[in-house]
Structure 1
Amino acid sequence: MRRQEVERARYECDLARRRYMQVDPDNRLVADSLEAEWNEKLRAHEQANDRYQKQRADDAAGLTIKQRADIMSLAMDFPRLWNDPRTPNRERKRMARLLITDVTLLKGAEITAQIRFNGGTTHTLHLGLPKQSWELHQTPSAVVELVDQLLEHHADAEVAQQLNGQGMQSGWGHEFNQSIVRRIREQYHLQSRYERLRARGLLTKQEIAERLNVQPDTIKKWRRAGLLRAHPFTGRGECLFEIPDATSPVKHRHQGKRAALSAASKVSSNRSGV
């Protein structure tokens, strides 16, 4: 503030001098008035400068030898002072103003910052363009790859559980759920669990029922009994079935087996009753 006062007084002094130098010498009344104003501004400038120098001397006298050494050490180690958490932002701004004359920014495929320091040195920085909001919250590529791998064996809800179990988070920092996994699939064009199973040739319940010439309800019973190999594609128990082969059940064959087992069970119970 003292230095600014000196600068302002010097400016007013120079302005008064220019006015005096431009006056017509024959106009003594105006010339005398402007000369008096110039002298007044000169005295104001000298007084402001004296106060400034006195304040500087007082500030310097108030510092111990150790404090002066610490200040000089900080001045020689600019990064440490700048990164010190105890340095307030207003002081960092003052430091930047003392060091930097101006900065020119050029925006193209990247941002080019041309910095001119007070000592005459220049430095050029090449910076990437700031990311847009959607890019800041974009799902990490590692997560997308893992989702693609997990979909080979799991439905959307199960994939979300697997990701949460590994401590992963979405681009917005949230835990995964079925809806988020589905959005990732759609955004990155990943095949669903159902599409992957169908690509492997697996059949729906209706299709395998037609292959085995039975009702869809029979297929459901056979699956529960473990007679058919099924692969779930949702968390609601919906499945696709492997293509029937020689080991697949045949219509009415298992009914006879169940009847024989039932009859044998009745005979055994009758004998135990006797």
Structure 2
Amino acid sequence: MLHHPRYTGAFCFGRTHTHKLPNGSHRFQQLPTEEWIALIRDAHVGYITWEEYEQNLRILSDNTQAPAAGRDRGPAREGPALLQGLAVCAKCGDRMTVRYHTHGIRRVPDYVCQRDGISHAEPICQLIVGGELDVAIGKLLVQAVTPFTLEVALAVQKELESRSEDSDRLRLQAVEQARYESDLTRRRYMRCDPDNRLVADSLEAEWNLALRAQTAAQELYDKQRKADRELDDAQRASIVALATDFARLWNDPHTADRERKRMARLLIADVTLLKDTDIRAQVRFNGGATQTLHLPLPKPAWMLRQTPAAVVNEIDRLLQNHTDGEVAVILNEKNYLSGEGKPFHRLIVRKIRIAYSLDSRYARLRARGMLTKSEFAERLNVSVATVKRWRHLGLLLPHKYDDRGEHLYEQPDSDTPVKHQHQGKIPARSIHAKATLSTTTL
């Protein structure tokens, strides 16, 4: 029923041609419809119409997976590649195939022109990463199917309907002309001498050709009459409502990738791709309109993993008063992520600080003139243990510069303790500072 025209009620003969091979076997070749010996439609009652039969053949051809001329699109398959079967190489004109690579947990399509590479071991023409390209094509389709564009299309359709009468009259004249030619050749054949077989055979052949031309003209006329039917108000309202439904269905995350591809094929005939200083995609719609998109080249992997400039500036600002570990905690509280999309910790902040030549917390404090505990002890002529003891008692104002508990100290001033001044006793402000320190630690 799908492949044989007899189920349409047609009589046909000569659908195949047989070749005899030198070894005695035979090879059968399927011929196109116009090369059949005989085809008489509506010879008997059929199960399906001729139009349904032709539509079935077109669907079968589009769904064929084997590569061949004229059927390179193939069926819409699983996978996120929106232009699968639609991408055409601008350099050689061949269809581009699809590969996939993984970016995190997401599959990203790559459109590759590799037919010569497979057949003749030639280098591939071009490879285009399709992640951003598919997004741009999707936005173009959503913009194309809007109430305004559909209203314009309906206005054009109405104008074409107003001119359909003129077209119908011209096609009818073509049918009448073919009928006149057929009658003329019939009269010539009927008037010839039957004994003159050479002339009779020639006139009969002309008559058959005229009959075929008349049949073709009549079929074209009937087909166009069916296609030129007018739209009623309900159909126009349904077409305008399609714009809202299309955008909602396209942007729905639950819509399968295969369905998006089928919707794209209803609108797009093909997309010609060229990779140069940018990616140029020329979209050819089924109605004949074209539109060209210019997209920047995809960034290399190291740029995709690069920390955003805003995060680097925030780290530079926080290092004025915090260590690497404290900076990581603050960034996570603000929901910042690294260039790899990961939460921050001390080592990541340190790696970013070194990569972008940011001064460490230690260098910043030293630039402000602060001293290490050894330098501070030497300045006051005391031991390092005394400096540690004074810090624990709250007599000094240390500044933490790493996550191991190391500190730098401000330059001694009038409030700085003196050697042996507090030996054996703790001043009231020290007790208060120590209590405050203990409370903060708890």
Distance 1:81 1:51, change over 3 A: farther
The Cα of 1:75 is off from its aligned counterpart by 5.5
More helix per residue = 1
Q: Distance in 2 between matches of 1:87 and 1:244?
A: 70
Cα distance between partner residues in 2 of 1:237 and 1:249:
22
Deviation at 1:239, TM superposition (A): 0.3
Report the number of matched residues.
Answer: 224
- 1:232 is aligned to 400
- CA separation of 1:168 and 1:38: change in aligned 2, threshold 3 A: closer
Match status 1:103 vs 2:271: yes
When residues 115 and 82 of structure 1 are mapped into structure 2, their CA distance, relative to the original with a 3 A threshold, is farther
Of 304, 318, 324, 1:136 maps to: 304
**Counterparts of 1:260 and 1:232 in 2: how far apart (Å)?**
24
Q: Tell me, in whole angstroms, the C-alpha distance in 2 between the residues paired with 1:39 and 1:83.
A: 48
Task: Find 1:151's aligned residue among 314, 319, 322.
Answer: 319
Between the aligned partners of 1:149 and 1:260, the Cα distance in structure 2 is 38
| Pairwise CA distance, 1:193 | 0.8
CA distance in 2 between counterparts of 1:187 and 1:213 reads: 40
Superposed CA deviations along residues 167-188 of structure 1, whole A, max 9, x for unmatched, are 3333333322111111121122
Partner of 1:83: 250
Report the TM-score, using the length of structure 1 for normalisation: 0.65
Q: Secondary structure at the match of 2:332?
A: helix
Aligned to 1:186: 354
Assess if the C-alpha contact under 8 Å between 1:155 and 1:234 holds in 2. yes
Q: 1:109 to 1:5 in 2, by over 3 A?
A: farther
Alignment RMSD: 4.0
Length-normalised TM-score, structure 2: 0.43
Task: Assess, with a 3 A threshold, how the Cα gap between structure 1 residues 148 and 69 changes in structure 2: closer, same or farther.
Answer: same
Aligned partners of 1:200, 1:180: CA distance in 2, in Å?
A: 26
- Superimposed CA distance per residue, residues 89-113 of structure 1 (whole angstroms, 9 cap, x where no aligned partner): 3343334334333322222332121
Which has the larger Rg? Answer: 1
Residue 206 of structure 1, CA deviation: 1.1
Structure ranking higher in strand proportion = 2
- Counterpart in 1 of 2:382? 214
**Aligned position for 1:39:** 37
**Residues 5, 205 of structure 1: CA spacing in aligned structure 2 closer, same or farther, 3 A cutoff?**
farther
Contact 1:114 1:125 in 2 (8 A): yes
Alignment partner, residue 341 of structure 2: 173
- Contact kept? 1:74, 1:80, Cα under 8 Å: no
CA distance in 2, matches of 1:161, 1:150: 11
Query: Take 2:259 and 2:381, find their aligned partners in 1: how far apart are those partners?
Result: 85
